[in-house]
């Protein structure tokens, strides 16, 4: 498959056209999205309805001055309006900016200000957070909200209904920006990863190898992963729409294994992307007889032989491990039926990708030796650049290779095994968490002088966040640990909040003043 594969990337390409409008030319009534509300009610969206809504929203955006290259922030949990907003932006040549609804004010302020987002789409539940930041966001010209709205806030549905005329989609090149996704880093603030329309095509080899024959009669896709992250958006949501596979949309405020199984059974879901933590929790729950799964992918952490065996016996479907990162997603996979699967290995390079393990000088290491996992550039799935960070982009793309920052090995048969990060990124419940935002939030407390965040082992989440703090002289410790944890939950996000905080007299530092997090992890 690898030897015979050739990328075919057209000069002109638009994700909204490929994942929405193209289907309306042949089958406008085809089911695109089935949204299951929190109360259990269901609403079906055809491709025709999806096109009409995104066209109307695009006309409204254009009337408010949105132009090619402008950013549209989408602060919503899983729902059809997420994709309608992205498609509306893309049809105008603008850039979608997915945002996690659990982000606190600090995290939102940074991303909205750094991106210079011009329009934001959210719901009533998150509107108060946004309004509290409005004075700090001079570029944010318009806010659209789901449900009732009072001027100057615009009602999402009313704007679509009131739109007049036929939309003329802005012609976009495959290389034109389409999506801006922020990823946590270990040094400095989060980085905006800017992707082109072509990155949709870059995901397809993995989809076709890990969900064989994707688009078969009866296929239905779902993931509990939020669509604000590349895993939820590009490992399941967009591919479903591209291949014409009905996509289940449902918000889970907190993952519940029994509820997940009920949804899978009731909605006859056949194709799943399940983060490792979800799989570990589902393994503890009984599998209803209504569950009939055909294909499952998972990525972000190693699954282990026991969990893979459970997939085959309990779910009746192999779990294919996938590997990538926000900057370059889905380049390795372990594909049942296409290769012997080795538990503990992430699999082999997919068709269209050259992946190698290199040393610090960029030379390939011997089979089995440790090095950095790197992906040959250019490649359709790779990011264009970090937003307004040319130095970081140059460090990521060096000598024709994208440096993942992940350490691992590759054996003589081409099987890759992950070892660790070469930096301090924390992997918890499938999220890749950088310590900087956490530390900045903690040191914002008047009693905290210095702070460091590290990952400590956890049997379910792989790692949980632990923070170390140096307090000001005379500060009282009683009650402060809980207050600091809550502070991070409120200001950054619950998913990055420390599970424990330890006070320490002094942080271990290098001669140049850098925190030695490895030493803290060793404690």
Express each pLDDT in 357-375 by its tens digit: 999 999 999 999 989 999 9
Q: In whole angstroms, how far apart are CA 103 and each of 15, 76, 129, 320?
A: 26, 11, 9, 30
Q: How confident is the model at residue 423 (pLDDT cuts 50, 70, 90)?
A: low
Domains by residue range for the chain, with CATH: 14-196 (3.40.50.12780), 427-522 (3.30.300.30)
Q: How confident is the model at residue 305 (pLDDT cuts 50, 70, 90)?
A: confident
482 Cβ contact partners less than 8 Å away, ≥ 6 residues apart: none
pTM: 0.88
Q: Write the DSSP assignment of 426-491 as a string of letters.
A: EEETTEEE-HHHHHHHHHTSTTEEEEEEEEEEETTTEEEEEEEEEEPTT---TTHHHHHHHHHHHH
Q: How confident is the model at residue 176 (pLDDT cuts 50, 70, 90)?
A: very high
The tens digit of pLDDT for each residue in 96-129 reads 999 999 999 999 999 999 999 999 999 999 999 9
Average pLDDT over residues 19-39: 97
Residue 513 has pLDDT above 70, yes or no: no
- The tokens describing 466, both together, are 């632990």
- Position 187 scores a pLDDT of 55
Average pLDDT over residues 348-354: 98
- Position 419 scores a pLDDT of 77
Q: How confident is the model at residue 188 (pLDDT cuts 50, 70, 90)?
A: low
Q: How confident is the model at residue 207 (pLDDT cuts 50, 70, 90)?
A: very high
Of the candidates 453, 469, 475, which has an alpha carbon nearest to the alpha carbon of residue 507? 469
Of the candidates 420, 497, 503, which has an alpha carbon nearest to the alpha carbon of residue 469? 503
Distance separating alpha carbons of residues 95 and 92, to the nearest angstrom: 9
Residue 514 has pLDDT above 80, yes or no: no
- Position 368 scores a pLDDT of 93
Residue-averaged pLDDT of the chain: 94
In a 3-state reduction of DSSP, which class is residue 16?
helix
The tens digit of pLDDT for each residue in 375-412 reads 999 999 999 999 999 999 999 999 999 999 888 899 99
Distance separating alpha carbons of residues 259 and 290, to the nearest angstrom: 13
The percentage of the chain sitting over the pLDDT mark of 90, rounded to a whole number, equals 82
The percentage of the chain sitting over the pLDDT mark of 70, rounded to a whole number, equals 97
Q: How confident is the model at residue 184 (pLDDT cuts 50, 70, 90)?
A: low
Distance separating alpha carbons of residues 243 and 48, to the nearest angstrom: 15
Distance separating alpha carbons of residues 496 and 441, to the nearest angstrom: 11
Residue 323 has pLDDT above 60, yes or no: yes
Average pLDDT over residues 262-277: 95
Residue 515 has pLDDT above 90, yes or no: no
Distance separating alpha carbons of residues 163 and 151, to the nearest angstrom: 17
Q: How confident is the model at residue 4 (pLDDT cuts 50, 70, 90)?
A: very high
Please answer whether residues 99 and 117 qualify as being in contact, where contact means their C-beta atoms are separated by less than 8 angstroms: no
> How many other CB atoms sit within 10 Å of the CB of residue 232?
20
Distance separating alpha carbons of residues 46 and 34, to the nearest angstrom: 9
- Position 46 scores a pLDDT of 98
Residue 301 has pLDDT above 80, yes or no: no
Please answer whether residues 337 and 317 qualify as being in contact, where contact means their C-beta atoms are separated by less than 8 angstroms: no
Question: Going by DSSP bridges, is the β-strand pair 142-146/154-155 parallel, antiparallel, or unpaired?
Answer: parallel
């Amino acid at each position: 498959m690898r030897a015979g594969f050739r990328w075919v990337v057209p000069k002109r390409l638009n994700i909204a056209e490929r994942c929405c409008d193209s289907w309306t030319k042949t089958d406008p009534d085809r089911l695109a999205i089935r949204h299951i509300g929190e109360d259990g009610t269901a609403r079906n969206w055809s491709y025709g309805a999806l096109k009409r809504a995104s066209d109307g929203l695009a006309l409204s955006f254009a009337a408010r001055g949105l132009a090619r290259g402008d950013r549209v922030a989408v602060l919503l949990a899983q729902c059809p309006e997420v994709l309608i907003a992205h498609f509306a932006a893309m049809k105008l040549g603008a850039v979608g900016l997915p945002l996690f609804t659990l982000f606190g004010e600090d995290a939102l302020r940074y991303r909205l200000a750094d991106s210079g987002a011009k329009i934001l789409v959210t719901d009533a539940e998150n509107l108060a957070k946004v309004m509290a930041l409005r004075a700090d966001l001079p570029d944010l010209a318009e806010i659209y909200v789901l449900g009732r709205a009072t001027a100057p806030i615009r009602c999402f549905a009313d704007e679509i209904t009131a739109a007049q005329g036929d939309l003329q989609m802005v012609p976009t090149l495959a290389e034109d920006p389409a999506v801006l996704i922020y990823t946590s880093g270990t040094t400095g603030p989060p980085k905006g990863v800017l992707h082109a329309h072509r990155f949709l095509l870059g995901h397809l080899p993995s989809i076709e190898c890990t969900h064989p024959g994707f688009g078969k009669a009866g296929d239905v896709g779902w993931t509990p992963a939020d669509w604000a992250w590349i895993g939820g958006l590009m490992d399941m949501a967009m591919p479903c729409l591209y291949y014409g596979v009905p996509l289940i949309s449902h918000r889970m405020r907190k993952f519940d294994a029994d509820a997940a199984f009920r949804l899978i059974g009731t909605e006859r879901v056949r194709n799943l992307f399940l983060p490792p933590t979800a799989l570990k929790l589902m393994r503890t729950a009984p599998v209803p007889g209504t569950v009939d799964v055909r294909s499952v992918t998972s990525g972000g952490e190693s699954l282990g032989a026991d969990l893979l065996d459970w997939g085959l016996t309990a779910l009746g479907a192999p779990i294919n491990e996938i590997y990538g990162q926000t900057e370059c997603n889905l380049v390795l996979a372990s594909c049942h039926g296409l290769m012997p699967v080795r538990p503990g290995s992430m699999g082999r390079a997919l068709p269209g990708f050259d992946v190698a393990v290199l040393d610090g000088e960029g030379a390939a290491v011997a089979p089995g030796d440790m090095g950095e996992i790197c992906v040959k550039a250019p490649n359709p799935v790779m990011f264009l650049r970090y937003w307004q960070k040319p130095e970081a982009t140059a460090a990521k793309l060096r000598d024709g290779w994208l440096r993942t920052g992940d350490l691992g090995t590759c054996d003589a048969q081409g099987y890759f095994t992950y070892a660790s990060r070469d930096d301090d990124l924390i992997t918890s419940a499938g999220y890749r968490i950088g310590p900087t935002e956490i530390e900045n939030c903690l040191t914002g407390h008047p009693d905290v002088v210095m702070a460091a965040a590290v990952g400590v082992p956890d049997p379910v989440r792989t790692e949980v966040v632990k923070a170390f703090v140096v307090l000001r002289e005379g500060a009282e410790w009683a009650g402060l640990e809980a207050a600091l944890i809550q502070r991070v939950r409120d200001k950054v996000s619950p998913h990055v909040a420390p599970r424990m905080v330890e006070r320490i007299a002094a942080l271990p530092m290098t001669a140049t003043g850098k925190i030695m997090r490895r030493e803290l992890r060793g404690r």
